[in-house]
Amino acid sequence: MRFGVYVHFAFCPYVCPYCDFAKWPYRASEARRYLDALDAELMREPSRSATTIYLGGGTPNTYDAGTLCAFVERVRAHFPLTESWQEITVEVNPELVKLRDFADYRAAGVTRVSVGVQSFDERETRTLGRRHTPGDVRETVLRARNAKLESVNLDLIFGIPGQTSRSWRTSLETAIALEVDHVSAYGLTIEEGTRFAKLYAREPQQFASDETQAEFYEIAIDMLAAAGYEQYEISNFARPGHRSVHNENYWNNGEYVGLGVGAASYRQGVRSVHTRSLGDYVRAALSGVPIPGESERLEGKRRVGEAIMLALRTAQGVRLDAFKERYGIDVLEDYAPVVATYAAAGFLERDTNAVRLTRRGRLVANEVCGAFLALT
Ligand code: SF4
């Protein structure tokens, strides 16, 4: 069984208007204290072997490479990686990447970087509140190659206010021309409590309609497929051998531990999530008391519904024999009405051993997954 370790780095150089993650503007003293809290939480976790380590955020590279790499070493000592899988990912903001950073990352065992690009059109990146330039991204990819990192991912966003199908194509073309190994393409979502939510309430016409988002999504599917990227999950495209093993473990309903403010874990059927209050997290971690948060045991149909929802996100879909073996259920029988309805609508397809979303189904994935969950 795979086991993933996620570490949440909570600081960013600035806060983007669309972002709903647990993050705060960088302040050196808070960032130092937060790292102490992460260390304290790490040491309290039972040590065990892991398959992947993922440093996300926030922006992990608000910390200098020396500090980050020393932390990676401590995580590796506590959660030694198995022989068979050795993937350590760090998310980076391209404007903060320094010349030697990736060589240091590599020496600490990092194999993969995920670069927050969002767009190669500077007007669009400014609209998103980001300050990096296309030149920063090119330089970041080059430095990752020079450091011999095994995989480079670029995150892109479609449906940005002002984005056109032409500028979206240009962003995809640029990513492809950089010959990166992996592309994540996400539709912009309006998250409650963000500045974009307020703007959307005032001027919804500034944002892409569902039809435009669907058109952009289809452009991404076609262009990335033509360039040799396999769409192995709704939003994720990889060249052969470059899938994200860490994220695949989530979609396979595998176990993972999350360290840090707002981080989620899933172990022995229990899903838990830490408080999103930075102060509460740091105080609890440093004083050795349980970290506040919520947890629930996923059992019976609820557990299966979640597993189906995750599996449907993947190109492989829900493997009938694997579900029978792991959960003791016959998906086709137990979910017959949902499968029939969405297959008739052209959103699901079946073969002898799988149920999966069709291309049209991927455009309405939330609705289809929700229907499986509603039956639990
Ligand atoms: S989008 Fe990324 S960089 Fe921007 S505030 Fe959120 S976590 Fe930070």
Give the residue whose CA is nearest to atom 6 of ligand 1.
19
Q: Which amino acid is at 315?
A: A
Q: Which parts of 79-131 fold into alpha helices (H)?
A: 101-107, 122-127
CA distance 87 to 266: 19
Q: Say yes or no to pLDDT of 1 above 90.
A: no
pLDDT for residue 300: 87
pLDDT for residue 138: 98
The class (CATH top level) of 300-374 is mainly alpha
For residue 58, which atom of ligand 1 is closest to its CA?
Answer: 7
Pick one of 3.80.30.20, 3.20.20.70, 3.40.50.800, 3.40.50.1260 as the CATH number of 3-250: 3.80.30.20
Query: What is the average pLDDT across 220-234?
Result: 98
Query: What is the average pLDDT across 65-69?
Result: 98
Nearest partner of 38 among 75, 93, 92, 76, judged by Cα: 75
pLDDT band at 374 (very low <50, low <70, confident <90, very high): confident
Condensed to tens digits (0 to 9), the pLDDT of residues 283-303 reads 999 999 999 999 999 988 889
Residues in the chain: 376
**What is the domain partition of the chain in residue ranges?**
3-250, 300-374
Q: Is the CB of 262 under 6 A from ligand 1?
A: no
Give the predicted TM-score (pTM) of the model. Answer: 0.96
Distance 124 CA to ligand 1 centre (A): 15
Is the CB of residue 251 less than 8 Å from the CB of residue 307? no
Name the token pair of 204. Answer: 């919804």
Give the residue whose CA is nearest to atom 7 of ligand 1.
58
CA distance 205 to 209: 8
Q: Say yes or no to pLDDT of 376 above 70.
A: no
Distance 47 CA to ligand 1 centre (A): 30
The owner of tokens 């400014």 is 126
Condensed to tens digits (0 to 9), the pLDDT of residues 88-135 reads 999 999 999 999 999 999 999 999 999 999 999 999 999 999 999 999
Q: Is the CB of 186 under 6 A from ligand 1?
A: no
Q: Is the CB of 21 under 6 A from ligand 1?
A: yes
Q: Say yes or no to pLDDT of 85 above 80.
A: no
Name the token pair of 30. Answer: 């808070």
Ligand 1 mutation target, pool 59, 132, 160, most atoms within 8 A of CB: 59
